[in-house]
Structure 1
Amino acid sequence: MERMGPPLPALIDTGRASAVTLSVPGPAQNKFSSPAIRHPPSAVRPITAAAAAAAAAAAAALCHRQYSINIQQAFPSHQKSYLGNYSAFSLLTHLQSSLSLVQQDNSPPSSTASPVDAFALARDATHLIRAHATKVSLLLTNAPSQQKQPPAALSAVVADLIEGPVPALASAAQGCDPLWCGVVLRRELALLAGRVLAGLAGLLRFVSGAASLDDDNQSSVQATAILWSACDALIQMTSSAPAGFFVAKARQSEELLKDVADELREWGQQEPDYEDVYDDDDDDEDDDQSFSDDDDDDDDDDDSSPSAQSLIDHLLSPQPIPTDDPSQIRPRLATTLRLLRLATLLLGAAHRRRLPDIHVPGCDPDSPLPTRLDALARVLDGLPERFEDLAAALYALRPVDVDDALRRCVRDARHAADLLADDWDGAPDRFTLLVDRFRQEVKLPEPEASKAADTSAAPSQG
């Protein structure tokens, strides 16, 4: 990448005062303000105001090959003065704090003249962060053992990181508009971007100690691997979002529901065996009465008595359904397995035929799609938890709790079907017919009390 802005000595100054204070200048402290943070002189890389302007221009050049980005909207003029007082570590710390606030804030970013393609900007910036981090790792590994200052090549790579891709990545996450992709996707982008910045900060901690890294090469390699993993996750998400994000969620929920169904099916096939329990108690009493000091007898007793682990497993494992089934658990288990099968079929069809067609509507405040995507993400995350609660009620053999959990599962499954019924433009299609059949098959179970009341009232009416 071509150098932009002032030369390296103006960007990296390792001989400044004893410490550098992180503070947010400006007429008023905003919500991103943080207490003063001090770093040793060997770890600081102050950035001038001119370097901040160069960072803005570099960030635009990174992504201009595919998208036209207005750099003034990515880096407002008041933010340029902020960057001028930050070192490399303090800048990363501040940006991570800002992204953590993005994950908690539902308010949209400040209005801009034209929308920013946040996914494209984040993807290109992450590619460059990964490439530059690889250079840093190689230079750290091959750094001279007696050198007191970081090599010039290493300092240049760090300067390139701070000038361009790092602020570009933070701007992508902060500038992602919920009206464009929804709150859930914005939070996911901020979360993954924060992990990339945290991984980069972990790698840059080794830059100031390049003179003594002979014994710590393995640690720098581990830090590089952590950063690579974070970069790959963000690149995969931004390359396939929004469709790929929801396809992955639907597949994960489908697999979890299949696991719940397999466990319940295996539990339902278990038969209560009381004879083994009584036999074990009798064996324990016989062992206590025939206790002797003979080693052979002790070995025989150990072989015949149950182990401690088997007793723990027996106590913690769910009890099988009784043979007489006084609580009518087996009919409820059959209803649960049927509902699980229908829900997995719906999710499987959705991630193959509905979710891959998701598209972003742009910054249209009247579009219902972002709200629909947020609701869909919540129901996809919550559906496995609902069925896990239902399974826990079945294991406990509590029919009232089972009925309540069944109703909640049916409501969530029908809600997911409603969100998936029409296409992303709001029109019915062939997939809508499949959803209609699902609605016909999935019905709320009637309470046992109402059934009993109807049964008792029937003879009196006759």
Structure 2
Amino acid sequence: MAKPNDLRALIDLTKTTPNLLTHYLSSLSSSTSTTASSTSPADLPNPLDVAKACTTLLKSHTTTLSLLLLTPPFTPSALITKIGDVSSGVLSNLVAGAAAEHGTKDGLGSLMRNELRAGVRRVLGGWGEVLALVLRLAERRQSIDGKTPAKKDPGPTESERQEILAATGVVWNACDGLLKFCDNGIVGLVVKKAEEWRSVLLDAVEELKEWGEDVDEDEDDEAEGSDLEDDEFRHDDDIFGAANKLGKGDKEIKALLDRSVKKLKMVGMLYQALIKRRLKTFPATAKTDGDGEDDAMVRLQKLMEHLRAIPENVDDLASAFYDLDEEEAKKTFEKCCEEAKSAVALVRQSWTSSDDEFTAWSQKWVDALDVA
């Protein structure tokens, strides 16, 4: 049976370690992250390399911890050692690599760094679940050991085995996600984000198109002498029903809607071209020149800001149409088009600042957008 002192030490450790995880999570916020601007760029480790090495080691440690929990006898001293190795060793280095701010000298843009930190947060959350499980198992064992004569440890129950496997799986999944992110690098991330934003954009455009086809044919045909019950029903429909319908007389706003849908579909085509010709061709070696990020990284970050802003503006555009606010819709629609044109202008030339196939295509696209 487990030694009482070891059990108490394990319980104390699993109760106090979550405070360390809370500290780690806090250090990942941009407002509290550390700065190491005095460090030479050549001396800075690649944050993705650090994350990959630490995550690989964490997955290995988690596997070992799982085996310790599944295989009798229950050994608190071994569990204490393993938890210490992870919490104050592996996780400490993982968080330090993700949290450190080196200005712009490590080659990571803000989008990449934020995604890295999100992945580390998921890993910390998974490890927190493992600690909670170890605490429950230790407390159960403490209760049992106090009532049962010393005998051979029967090992975990089937229910406990399932708990152990489930908690281990959570950490493994978080680690696999972070490892995939590190392997895909910045190109994989920006392509994934652009595809997500394009999907949101096209969904919103389709909803606008369907809304525009649902014209209110009965707006001038209200029945006279409707009773109170009918009026109350109509009031409920206003509250709980869909957005306002276009009326037969709303010809100008309908024309604006049709033009918006047509042009926004062209913007969806632009996303495809940018993903293929610019995002997937972004140079993996784009780093810094010692004084800050190189031109390619700066352009990429600005491009992603434009691509993210477009679906956000389309959401505002939809709200304006649903409110039948023609002036606001017109203003927001123009903002969407300007964001798209700015994205094109930013990367009209390749990452090496030379003309290519996209350069010619992009000018044709802008001309087509203007006359559509």
Would the TM-score normalized by the shorter structure come out above 0.5? yes
Aligned CA distance change for structure 1 residues 407 and 98 (closer, same or farther; 3 Å)? same
Query: C-alpha distance in 1, partners of 2:316/2:34?
Result: 29
Q: How far has the Cα of 1:317 moved from its partner?
A: 0.8
In structure 2, the partner of 1:125 is: 54
Alignment of structure 1 residues 28-427 onto 2, 5 Å: 42-44=11-13, 88-100=17-29, 102=30, 109-112=37-40, 114-142=43-71, 147=74, 150=76, 152=78, 154-162=79-87, 164-175=89-100, 177=102, 178-179=104-105, 180-211=107-138, 212=140, 214=157, 218-274=162-218, 278=222, 312=237, 315-325=240-250, 328-358=252-282, 359-364=284-289, 365=291, 367-427=294-354
Q: Which secondary structure state, in structure 2, belongs to the residue aligned with residue 249 of structure 1? A: helix
Verify the 8 A CA contact 2:59 2:171 in the aligned structure 1: yes
Instruction: Identify unmatched segments of 5+ residues in structure 2.
Output: 142-156
Verify the 8 A CA contact 1:137 1:220 in the aligned structure 2: yes
Alignment of structure 1 residues 11-30 onto 2, 5 Å: none
Q: How far has the Cα of 1:419 moved from its partner?
A: 2.7
Q: Which secondary structure state, in structure 2, belongs to the residue aligned with residue 371 of structure 1? A: helix
Query: C-alpha distance in 2, partners of 1:272/1:163?
Result: 65
Instruction: Identify unmatched segments of 5+ residues in structure 1.
Output: 1-13, 19-39, 46-86, 289-304, 446-462
Q: How far has the Cα of 1:242 moved from its partner?
A: 0.6
- Aligned letter for 1:354? R
Aligned CA distance change for structure 1 residues 248 and 108 (closer, same or farther; 3 Å)? farther
- Aligned letter for 1:348? Q
TM-score by length of 1: 0.64
Which deviations, in whole Å up to 9, do the C-alpha atoms of 1:69-116 show, x marking residues without a partner?
xxxxxxxxxxxxxxxxxx85454333322222x466596654145231
Aligned CA distance change for structure 1 residues 309 and 41 (closer, same or farther; 3 Å)? farther
Q: Which secondary structure state, in structure 1, belongs to the residue aligned with residue 76 of structure 2? A: coil
Q: How many corresponding residue pairs? A: 344
In structure 1, the partner of 2:369 is: 442
Q: How far has the Cα of 1:239 moved from its partner?
A: 1.1
TM-score by length of 2: 0.78
Query: C-alpha distance in 2, partners of 1:95/1:371?
Result: 29
Query: C-alpha distance in 1, partners of 2:224/2:45?
Result: 70
Q: How far has the Cα of 1:338 moved from its partner?
A: 1.8
Moved more, 190-199 or 247-256: 190-199
Verify the 8 A CA contact 1:379 1:416 in the aligned structure 2: yes
Verify the 8 A CA contact 1:206 1:220 in the aligned structure 2: yes
If asked which structure has higher relative contact order (CA below 8 Å, sep 6+), I would say 2
Query: C-alpha distance in 2, partners of 1:98/1:357?
Result: 34
Query: C-alpha distance in 2, partners of 1:119/1:411?
Result: 35
- Aligned letter for 2:257? L
Query: C-alpha distance in 2, partners of 1:260/1:253?
Result: 11
Q: Which secondary structure state, in structure 1, belongs to the residue aligned with residue 261 of structure 2? A: helix
Percent identical among aligned pairs is 27
Which deviations, in whole Å up to 9, do the C-alpha atoms of 1:326-378 show, x marking residues without a partner?
5x111101221122111100101111221012224223225223322322232
Larger helix proportion of the pair:
2
Q: Which secondary structure state, in structure 1, belongs to the residue aligned with residue 246 of structure 2? A: coil
Verify the 8 A CA contact 1:268 1:330 in the aligned structure 2: yes
Verify the 8 A CA contact 1:176 1:186 in the aligned structure 2: no
